[in-house]
């Protein structure tokens, strides 16, 4: 039996009808106000200048943090290790390491309070989705593009962890996170910077020298100087970055990633003690790949039948995908044949890794192992065969 309401809560049918009549206009007015308010906000948003919208999207990114993330994005090709067909590869990020297996990856970061936080997700191969990228030359572009995409994703996670540490120290306690606008701005500015530093500046200086010194003013001589200046700029840039304290820590995590990969590939139990026995330079490192790219570009641009400065610059940018594809095939060939001229081309990259990798601490090696183990766990959960290749 339905319980009887208290007398204080009883209402008559007339009171209920009156209540509904009174409530109707108020609700309609409220809805109209909300709609007008929404339209007003949209109109005001459309009137805002683009710089105001970007600033609202990335309130947590001040100038120092922007420059910090900018430096890390510049080093993405240098820090990348491994390719689609290898079993284990990785990359150093802000205060952490990303490890990847054929079908999964994990980013592990050491937070300011000493805790290790991580993110692991499945990873599909670009060549499986698009078989075109299994062809020679194109597979190099697919591998580099996939590695850069994953590297940016891992770097964003580590940057969010760093911003989270800043927000914890902030009395307001507002959570900070990089929005899409911040990452697009970073990637666009980094791409423009790299084209200016490695394409425009070397060609401009070489052309200037050719005008001032007729003995080296010929087409081949200018192109050769362009390649030499590009390599010198790259080496100087790496050295200057290595002198920065934060970049030194990044290079330590780079070394930790290499040591742990070596430890895994050796078949020994993956521990901090075992990993620390290995060297920090690895033949599949992105540093070696970039050195080969610089050498191939120097040879490839040498005999371009172009004299106009701007056409030369456009040709260098247009031929960059071809240079990347050829360099990847050389690295792939040299990995299978450890002797000969092709293998000798990768040797300078191993020498340069004395700069881009540094001996890690035990704590940094622990972070790399954490990333590797979580990536392996996810790989096994997906049915992957984790055996030594």
| Percent of the chain with pLDDT strictly greater than 90 | 30
Query: Strands (DSSP E) along the chain, which ranges?
Result: 89-93, 96-101, 104-110, 116-122
Higher-pLDDT residue of 73, 196: 196
∠ CA 93-285-234 to the nearest 5 degrees?
Answer: 85
Give the closest residue to 223 by CA, choosing from 299, 310, 314.
299
Domain ranges across the chain? 173-381
Distance CA 240, CA 247 (A): 9
What are 48-100's pLDDT values in tens digits? 443 443 444 444 445 555 555 555 565 566 555 555 445 678 888 889 999 98
Residue 74: predicted pLDDT: 57
pLDDT digits (tens, 9 = 90+) for 142-156: 888 888 888 888 888
CA angle 75, 77, 79 (to 5 degrees): 65
- The whole-angstrom separation of Cα 97 and Cα 108 is 6
- Prediction pTM value: 0.72
Q: What per-residue confidence (pLDDT) applies to 7?
A: 43
Instruction: Indicate if the alpha-carbon torsion angle 98, 259, 364, 358 is positive or negative.
Output: negative
């Amino acid at each position: 039996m339905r319980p009887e309401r208290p007398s204080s809560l009883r209402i008559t049918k007339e009171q209920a009808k009156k209540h509904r009549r009174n409530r109707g206009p108020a609700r309609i007015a409220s809805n109209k106000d909300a709609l007008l308010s929404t339209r007003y906000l949209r109109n005001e948003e459309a009137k805002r200048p683009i710089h105001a919208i970007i600033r609202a999207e990335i309130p947590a990114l001040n100038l120092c943090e922007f420059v910090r993330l900018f430096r890390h994005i510049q080093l993405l090709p240098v820090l990348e290790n491994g390719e689609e067909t290898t079993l284990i590869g990785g990359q150093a990020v802000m205060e952490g390491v990303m490890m990847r297996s054929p079908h999964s990856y994990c980013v592990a970061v050491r937070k300011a309070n000493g805790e290790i936080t991580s993110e692991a997700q499945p990873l599909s191969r670009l060549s499986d989705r698009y078989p075109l990228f299994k062809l020679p030359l194109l597979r190099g572009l697919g591998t580099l593009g996939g590695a850069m995409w994953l590297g940016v994703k891992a770097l964003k996670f580590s940057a969010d962890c760093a911003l989270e540490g800043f927000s914890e120290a902030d009395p307001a306690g507002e959570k900070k996170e990089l929005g899409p606008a911040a990452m697009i701005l970073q990637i666009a500015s980094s791409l423009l910077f790299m084209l200016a530093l490695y394409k425009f500046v070397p060609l401009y200086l070489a052309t200037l020298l050719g005008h001032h010194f007729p003995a080296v003013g010929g087409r081949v001589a200018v192109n050769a100087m362009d390649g030499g200046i590009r390599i010198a700029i790259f080496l100087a840039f790496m050295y200057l970055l290595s002198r920065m304290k934060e970049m030194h820590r990044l290079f330590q995590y780079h070394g930790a990633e290499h040591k742990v990969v070596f430890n895994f590939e050796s078949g020994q139990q993956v521990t901090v003690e075992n990993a620390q026995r290995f060297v920090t330079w690895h033949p599949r490192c992105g540093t070696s790949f970039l050195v080969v790219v610089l050498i191939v570009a120097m040879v490839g641009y040498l005999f371009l039948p172009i004299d106009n400065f701007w056409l030369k610059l456009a040709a260098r940018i247009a031929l960059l995908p071809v240079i990347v594809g050829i360099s990847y095939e050389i690295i792939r060939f040299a990995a299978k044949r450890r002797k000969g001229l092709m293998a000798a081309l990768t040797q300078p990259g191993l020498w340069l890794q004395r700069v881009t990798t540094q001996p890690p601490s035990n704590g940094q090696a622990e972070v790399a192992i954490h990333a590797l183990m979580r990536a392996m766990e996810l790989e096994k959960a997906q049915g992957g065969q984790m055996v030594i290749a």
